[in-house]
């Protein structure tokens, strides 16, 4: 049955029987506009397909397979030397080809040494080693310092293993760890951790700047603007004045240096990337000078406290000696800062960060699958080994007093002179600061370019352009941290953000490895989900060891960003691990549910919304605009799933593409109405066959739909659509056979949306036992804002010989046990004949009753005359029928009295619920439609409900 068979172009075809006009969806409605955009996009795609089809075809031996070459089969455009366009972040509904996400080719390709190892080494070896590491050895002692190094090194090494596994599972785009975490854990987690990692990099830039400035002021004390601080050494009889740079000098010089670095960054990142490896040469040379100086140091060293490599010093420095210090780290009994093992971990951890530097350059690597694992892990192991050796050497080199008071012990012992250390420190820190001011803006720009968070649109950049706005924002953050001026207060903040990022990388690998989806095929084989889980656990433990307050703040910040992204962010489908987890969880849950009967306590309505209209809808509107509003009313607090289905008449081979486009339009409508559900379009020769297939096959196990919802065909007689009765009755009969509940909505045009508050009552005409479905639906209506001001009235229709008072008492007790507040009214059928005082509603019902009698009589005469002419028995809808005229009169009279009762008691009700009578056996569908029309006559908003052979409510807890 085509739409054209049941639809009319008349302007009045959507008017209600009482004269109310249906308010159609206008052309400028947002849902219609969105659907038109989708339709336009599909038209453009279809034009391209048509152009491809019109191209001349060449002979091919692979014609049997339907493709002309292997290139077309796999979609590998690179095999034909065609350039593929780098895609933006994929969105729901877009087709993602196998070529998308492949990095663009560039002229400069780096190997493992210069592309990964050197950048990681440069970022790991920084200011902490030069001016804090010997102090950590003096404060924590040798064995606890070794424990600190092993603890932090194990964390970064396990993170490097997880990073290697994820990075070798496919091509990488810009964004570094944000890209990896976002594609593994989803856009919400990726953006939240990515922004925290951005803050960590921005704050790290200030750390490097302050380190360079402090080193410069130490080397050139005369450059200080303000008077230097004089601090006495703890525990000495004749204290030696120890000078520390003024915090104001650190602030002023730090701001100036940050601005200068910002100008350099604006001058060109290509130049920075070319010069950056050269910054490593002074660092390596300075390290060489330090180790040579330690080896040649003697007890008669010019600087007091330098003992050379001494076993005595080693023994004295073996254990910890935690003391109070001032803000500059100088021991002071009255100092405000106290230190312990946890604080040492927080202070040292920035010295092992920087393992992401290689992954950030993935686009410039010749072989990312090989370079990232080898380069990252080699840099991690090299620096960790160097730290372990340095702990042993520093512990045996000087007294504890010298370790705690000489903040630049590395320069003191350097051979041949200290100046080389100052130069090395300044160049390394400035180079690391340049890397931070270069990498952090690109990370922010990568997050903005993914178009997940609209508030970050200001930081978007065109591919190949410099992120100037993001760079300025990063510089402001860096300057704000420089103003703090205290290095020891900044490092715990950096530690939290980096640990949060590393935990995200480990959790990403853990999830992907545990789920083991078919797409998870990393080339790096030396990984296991247990190692990733251990790495994530170490990250969390270190966070709490350092500072539980900083940990709570950082986790709260990430959670707030996550919540904000989930509320305000745009949808993105990156094939993340959570989707695999949901799939596995759904399969496991489906198996655990089995096919057994669902207990009433666990019963949820799963409505099958039948969208096929009994009338004409506005153009580009795939479903009645109020169907989704009604579907939302069947859910408690949005919990539940709706399945919106429609039937496209025709041949499947010819209409498959039309069905896909219709599914997209219907899905867009569901999203616009904010209704949780899925859209399905089925192609079938006619509506009856299509629905019969849907009701049998839709769903899996106990997740099959249990309620069929459809609109009452109010226009069938007005438009003289004689085929509707047979289809409508067939659908109801199919639902009864398939044991599906049925909810038929009359007056859907007038159904309120979530903002239209209703008053009055929700009236239930409870005629037959339906498993409590009618009662449950009334309760679900009360949970919605539009109906929360209403009260429930239950009208029990009793047989003539029933005791009305006993029935009322039983129903009240039943409702009380169900925790339902409702007024119970019992109407006995024997009182129907005495309702002559009904007045206007009685006259309205009588008029409809007489009209139905006349139409049925005419229909029966026509059917009998046709049977006599053909010499056959009575036939209707292609089936033999047996009509008992006395039974027809009885049915008409019953519906007459019920309609009169509804009009008498419920004319002002917000909504009326009444039991659906099943189609009588061997009666024509036309007669059943007459019964139904008489039942719903002049009722504005009516739900006709039939339950199924299962209870949906229970009295027991």
- Give pLDDT tens digits for 701-717: 777 888 899 888 887 77
Helix (H, G, I), strand (E, B) or coil at 287: helix
| Angstrom distances, CA of residue 847 to CA of 328, 842, 895 | 97, 9, 13
H or E, element range at 244? strand 242-244
- The pLDDT > 90 percentage for the chain reads 6
Report d(CA 201, CA 496) in Å as an integer: 11
Closest CA to 31 of 679, 616, 620, 628: 620
Mean pLDDT to the nearest integer, 745-770: 84
DSSP strand pairing (822-828 vs 875-876):
unpaired
**First vs last Cα of the chain: how many Å apart?**
49
CA 192, 187, 589, 600 dihedral sign is positive
Predicted local distance difference test score (pLDDT) of residue 25: 45
Domain 747-832+848-956 adopts which CATH fold?
Rossmann fold (3.40.50)
Rounded to 5 degrees, φ, ψ at 757 are: -75, 135
- Give pLDDT tens digits for 332-357: 777 777 888 888 888 888 888 888 87
Contacts of 116 by beta carbon, 8 Å cutoff, 6+ apart: 110, 357, 358, 361, 365, 371, 372, 374, 375, 376, 379
Predicted local distance difference test score (pLDDT) of residue 99: 35
Report d(CA 320, CA 137) in Å as an integer: 8
Predicted local distance difference test score (pLDDT) of residue 385: 93
Q: CB neighbours (10 Å) of residue 333?
A: 10
Rounded to 5 degrees, φ, ψ at 667 are: -65, -40
- Give pLDDT tens digits for 904-939: 888 889 999 988 888 887 778 888 888 888 888 888
Say how far residue 318 (Cα) sits from the centre of its chain: 51
Return the C-alpha torsion angle 438, 443, 446, 447, nearest 10: -150
- Give pLDDT tens digits for 407-452: 778 888 888 777 788 888 788 788 778 777 877 888 888 888 887 8
- Three-state SS string over 754-796 comes to CCCCCCCEEEEEECCCCCCHHHHHHHHHHCCCCCCCCEEEEEE
Predicted local distance difference test score (pLDDT) of residue 595: 60
| Angstrom distances, CA of residue 45 to CA of 185, 262, 505 | 31, 45, 38
- Give pLDDT tens digits for 901-913: 888 888 889 999 9
Examine domains 112-164+174-568 and 747-832+848-956 and report if their fold is the same: no
Please give the angle made by the CA atoms of 739, 745 and 746, to the nearest 5 degrees.
Answer: 140
**Is the separation of the CB atoms in 503 and 200 below 8 Å?**
no
What order do you get walking across the sheet with 791-798 strand by strand? Answer: 677-684, 642-649, 607-610, 707-711, 741-746, 942-946, 911-915, 761-766, 791-798, 822-828
Local confidence band at 171 (pLDDT 50, 70, 90 cut-offs) = low
The pTM score is 0.62
Lowest mean pLDDT among 164-173, 617-626, 918-927: 617-626
568 exposure class (CB count in 10 Å sphere: 0-12, 13-18, 19+): exposed
- Of 216-220, 392-396, 883-887, the range with the highest mean pLDDT is 392-396
Closest CA to 612 of 519, 527, 709, 699: 709
- The pLDDT > 70 percentage for the chain reads 75
Beta-carbon-side half-sphere exposure of residue 778 (alpha carbons within 13 Å): 32
Mean pLDDT to the nearest integer, 644-670: 86
Query: Which residue is it, tokens 């372990």?
Result: 388
Predicted local distance difference test score (pLDDT) of residue 86: 39
Report d(CA 804, CA 763) in Å as an integer: 18
- Give pLDDT tens digits for 873-897: 777 766 777 777 788 888 888 888 8
CATH number of 601-745: 3.40.50.620
Predicted local distance difference test score (pLDDT) of residue 809: 86
Token digits of residue 202: 């921005």
Mean pLDDT to the nearest integer, 269-294: 76
> Does the structure show a pLDDT above 70 at 21?
no
Which sequence spans correspond to the domains of the chain? 112-164+174-568, 601-745, 747-832+848-956
Mean pLDDT to the nearest integer, 707-733: 82
Predicted local distance difference test score (pLDDT) of residue 114: 74
Closest CA to 760 of 892, 905, 878: 905
Predicted local distance difference test score (pLDDT) of residue 273: 62
Contacts of 677 by beta carbon, 8 Å cutoff, 6+ apart: 609, 628, 631, 641, 642, 643, 644, 670
Task: Give 112-164+174-568's CATH code, choosing from 1.20.1250.20, 1.20.1740.10, 3.40.50.300, 3.40.50.11290.
Answer: 1.20.1740.10
Mean pLDDT to the nearest integer, 109-126: 77
Predicted local distance difference test score (pLDDT) of residue 826: 85
749 exposure class (CB count in 10 Å sphere: 0-12, 13-18, 19+): buried
Mean pLDDT to the nearest integer, 189-200: 85
Local confidence band at 537 (pLDDT 50, 70, 90 cut-offs) = very high
- Give pLDDT tens digits for 440-486: 888 888 888 887 877 888 888 876 677 888 888 988 888 888 887 66
Report d(CA 934, CA 847) in Å as an integer: 10
**Is the separation of the CB atoms in 436 and 219 below 8 Å?**
no
């Amino acid at each position: 049955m085509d739409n054209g068979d049941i639809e009319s172009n008349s302007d009045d075809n959507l008017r209600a029987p009482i004269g109310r006009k249906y308010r159609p969806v206008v052309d400028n409605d947002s849902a219609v506009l969105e659907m038109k955009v989708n339709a336009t996009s599909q038209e453009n795609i279809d034009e391209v397909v048509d152009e491809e089809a019109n191209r001349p075809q060449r002979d091919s031996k692979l014609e049997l397979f339907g493709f002309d070459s292997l290139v077309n089969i796999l979609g590998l455009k690179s095999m034909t030397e065609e350039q593929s366009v780098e895609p933006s972040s994929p969105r729901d509904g877009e087709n993602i080809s196998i070529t998308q996400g492949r990095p663009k080719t560039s002229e400069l390709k780096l190997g493992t040494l210069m592309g990964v190892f050197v950048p990681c080494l440069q970022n790991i070896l920084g200011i902490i080693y030069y001016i804090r590491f010997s102090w950590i050895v003096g404060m924590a002692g040798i064995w606890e310092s070794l424990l600190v190094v092993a603890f932090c090194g194990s964390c970064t090494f396990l993170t490097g293993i997880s990073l290697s596994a994820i990075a070798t599972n496919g091509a990488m785009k810009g964004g570094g760890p944000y890209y990896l975490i976002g594609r593994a854990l989803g856009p919400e987690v990726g953006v939240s951790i990515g922004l925290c990692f951005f803050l960590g990099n921005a704050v790290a830039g200030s750390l490097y700047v302050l380190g360079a400035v402090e080193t410069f002021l130490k080397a050139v004390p005369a450059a200080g603007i303000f008077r230097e601080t004089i601090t006495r050494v703890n525990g000495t009889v004749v204290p030696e004045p120890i000078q520390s740079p003024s915090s104001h000098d650190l602030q002023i010089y730090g701001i100036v240096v940050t601005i200068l670095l910002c100008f350099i960054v604006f001058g060109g990142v290509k130049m920075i990337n070319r010069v950056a490896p050269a910054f490593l040469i002074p660092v390596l040379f300075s390290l060489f000078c330090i180790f040579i100086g330690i080896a040649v140091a003697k007890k008669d060293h010019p600087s007091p406290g330098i003992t050379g490599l001494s076993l005595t010093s080693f023994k004295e420095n073996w254990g910890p000696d935690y003391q109070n210090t001032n803000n500059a780290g100088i021991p002071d009994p009255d100092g405000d800062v106290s230190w312990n093992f946890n604080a040492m971990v927080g202070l040292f951890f920035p010295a092992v960060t920087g393992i992401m530097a290689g992954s950030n350059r993935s686009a410039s690597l010749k072989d990312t699958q090989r370079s990232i694992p080898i380069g990252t892990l080699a840099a991690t192991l090299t620096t960790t080994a160097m730290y372990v050796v340095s702990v042993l050497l520093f512990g045996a080199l000087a007294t504890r007093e010298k370790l705690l008071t000489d903040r630049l012990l590395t320069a003191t012992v350097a051979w041949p002179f200290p100046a080389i250390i100052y130069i090395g420190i300044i160049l390394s820190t400035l180079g690391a600061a340049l890397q931070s001011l270069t990498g952090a803006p690109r990370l922010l720009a990568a997050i903005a370019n993914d178009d997940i968070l609209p508030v970050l649109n200001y930081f978007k950049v065109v591919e190949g352009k410099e992120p100037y706005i993001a760079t300025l924002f990063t510089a402001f953050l860096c300057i704000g941290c420089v103003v703090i001026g205290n290095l020891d207060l900044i490092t715990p903040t950096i530690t939290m953000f980096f640990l949060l990022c590393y935990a995200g990388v480990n959790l990403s690998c853990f999830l992907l490895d545990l789920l083991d989806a078919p797409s998870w095929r990393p080339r790096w084989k030396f990984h296991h989900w247990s190692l990733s889980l251990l790495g994530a656990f170490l990250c969390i433990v270190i966070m709490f060891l350092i500072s539980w307050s900083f940990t709570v703040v950082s986790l709260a910040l990430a959670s707030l960003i996550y919540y904000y992204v989930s509320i305000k962010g745009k949808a993105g489908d990156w094939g993340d691990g959570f989707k695999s987890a949901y799939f596995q969880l759904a399969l496991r849950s489906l198996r655990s549910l089995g096919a057994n009967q669902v207990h009433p306590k666990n019963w949820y309505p799963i409505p099958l919304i039948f969208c096929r209209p009994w009338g004409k809808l506005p153009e580009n509107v795939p479903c009645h605009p109020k169907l989704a509003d009604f579907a939302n009313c069947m859910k408690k607090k949005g919990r539940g799933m709706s399945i919106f289905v429609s039937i496209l008449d025709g041949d499947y081979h010819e209409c498959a593409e039309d069905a896909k486009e219709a599914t997209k339009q219907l899905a867009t409508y569901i999203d616009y109405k904010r209704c949780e559900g899925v859209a399905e379009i089925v192609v079938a020769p006619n509506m009856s066959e299509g629905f019969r297939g849907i009701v049998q096959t839709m769903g899996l196990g106990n997740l099959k739909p249990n309620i069929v919802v459809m609109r009452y065909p109010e226009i069938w007689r007005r438009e003289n659509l004689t085929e509707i009765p047979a289809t409508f009755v067939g659908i109801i009969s199919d639902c009864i056979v398939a044991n599906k509940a049925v909810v038929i909505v009359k007056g859907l045009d007038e159904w309120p949306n979530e903002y239209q508050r209703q008053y009055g009552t929700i009236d239930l005409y409870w005629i037959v036992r339906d498993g409590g479905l009618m009662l449950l639906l009334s309760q679900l209506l009360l949970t919605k804002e539009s109906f929360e001001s209403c009260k429930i009235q239950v009208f029990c229709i009793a047989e003539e010989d029933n005791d009305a008072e006993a029935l009322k008492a039983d129903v009240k007790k039943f409702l009380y046990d169900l925790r339902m507040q409702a007024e119970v009214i019992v109407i006995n059928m024997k009182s129907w004949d005495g309702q002559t005082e009904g007045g206007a509603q009685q006259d309205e019902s009588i008029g409809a009753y007489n009209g139905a009698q006349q139409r049925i009589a005419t229909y029966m005469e026509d059917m009998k005359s046709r049977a006599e002419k053909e010499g056959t028995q009575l036939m209707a809808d292609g089936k033999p029928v047996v009509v008992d005229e006395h039974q027809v009169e009885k049915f008409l009279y019953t519906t007459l009295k019920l309609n009169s009762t509804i009009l008498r008691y419920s004319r002002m009700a917000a909504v009326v619920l009444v039991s659906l009578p099943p189609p009588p056996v061997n009666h024509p569908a036309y007669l059943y439609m007459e019964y139904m029309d008489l039942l719903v006559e002049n009722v504005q908003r009516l739900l006709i409900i039939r339950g199924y052979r299962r209870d949906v409510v229970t009295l027991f807890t």
